[in-house]
Structure 1
């Protein structure tokens, strides 16, 4: 059964204020003293994610997907980090079939004050096998990908590209390859940022749904390339 609480589905200034204050007081004593603020902010975020799930399901099935399965914990894993701050300074969720552990390319949503809120999706930390598939597809048929990421509406909404690129050419591809810039990409993740004023608008969830629908063809492209092609090969 899906749990999509949308009772408090609008983020307020109080949620952004909590996250800003947490960033300045990132310790357990302050957090526990302000737990009621955290619970209120978390409830708002859960409500927003519930509205986001409802909106996405208008154009993409999300079987067995609960709000709680999409949301990341606010606690940081500090076991192997030099930064021992115990909490993240943001709320985040990944939306795909089954939630954040879908195992596919999905939508990532990150709420952080002072203009750091964003929606993004794409190739991020791919396996060597997935990266090889991506480069092979660029070499053989770049037109499909370019048709998606160079569409005017896509470029207008997702102007920011995040991720690493190689400084040299990947093995097997010459430096004068016409698509060398794409072939050098190790990650290709597209981002749309939102101002704090946009985040607290009543229709912000609808804006997020719009962004997800715009980037869905790119997610579909990668998911087919990384997973469905493999599944079809196994089936044969």
Structure 2
């Protein structure tokens, strides 16, 4: 990752921070290491988002991210049995709007002590947002099949973990549709791992950019756009 305003990329200190946080997930430890968090996690993540914003400005679906699209490391423990106060990973979004709004698709990054992953598409949309995607699949199965083929050519596949066992309400008559499996999806996401080696590599931004461009057919589909 390039040096932006004097900020270096992720380093072994980043990995060490997350490793130790996993072992000492409490406010006292975090307060004592807040400076490390800011310099070794927050700053390089913000720099990565800035670089990716520039790299993806001419992509089929331009994506933008900044400190405003980074997620807080503090966990919301109000309704959780797990009262550990901090996430042991850092995460952020890049979206067409440059905000955390996800309706037009997203690129999601998550990093931790062992690397992380990158994901793209539309995550768990509301039923009102999901219905138009399903309708487009019903009406133009060949177009959606082309999206799937283009993703496959880049060694990407839509995740099927979040998939209904039966046809969704209102789509039972399409149980024999050639893309019936996709009509049962509740989320439209592809992803790739960020290995521990890649996390510390100068190639990180380039590899994330490559992933975003490989995922462009899906991002264009969820945004309601045709071919670029």
Output one character per residue of 1:108-165: Cα deviation in whole Å (capped at 9) or x when no partner. 11112224x1111112111112222122111111222221222266541x34625411
RMSD: 2.4
Conserved in 2, the CA contact under 8 Å of 1:162 and 1:191? no
The 10-residue stretch of structure 1 (169-178 or 49-58) with the greater mean CA deviation from structure 2: 169-178
- How many residues of Structure 1 are paired with residues of Structure 2 in the alignment? 219
Alignment of 1:6-155 (within 5 A): 6-41=5-40, 42-59=42-59, 61=62, 67-96=66-95, 97-101=97-101, 103-115=103-115, 117-151=116-150, 154-155=153-154
Which consecutive unaligned segments of at least 5 residues does structure 1 have? 229-236
CA distance in 1, matches of 2:181, 2:22: 37
Q: TM-score, normalised by structure 2?
A: 0.85
CA distance in 1, matches of 2:4, 2:27: 28
Answer 1 or 2: which has greater helix percent.
1
Runs of 4+ displaced beyond 4 Å: 152-155
**CA drift at 1:193:** 0.6
Are 2:132 and 1:164 aligned?
Answer: no
2:179 paired residue number: 179
CA distance in 1, matches of 2:110, 2:161: 16
Conserved in 1, the CA contact under 8 Å of 2:107 and 2:120? yes
* TM-aligned CA distance change 1:101 to 1:177, over 3 Å: closer
* TM-aligned CA distance change 1:184 to 1:118, over 3 Å: same
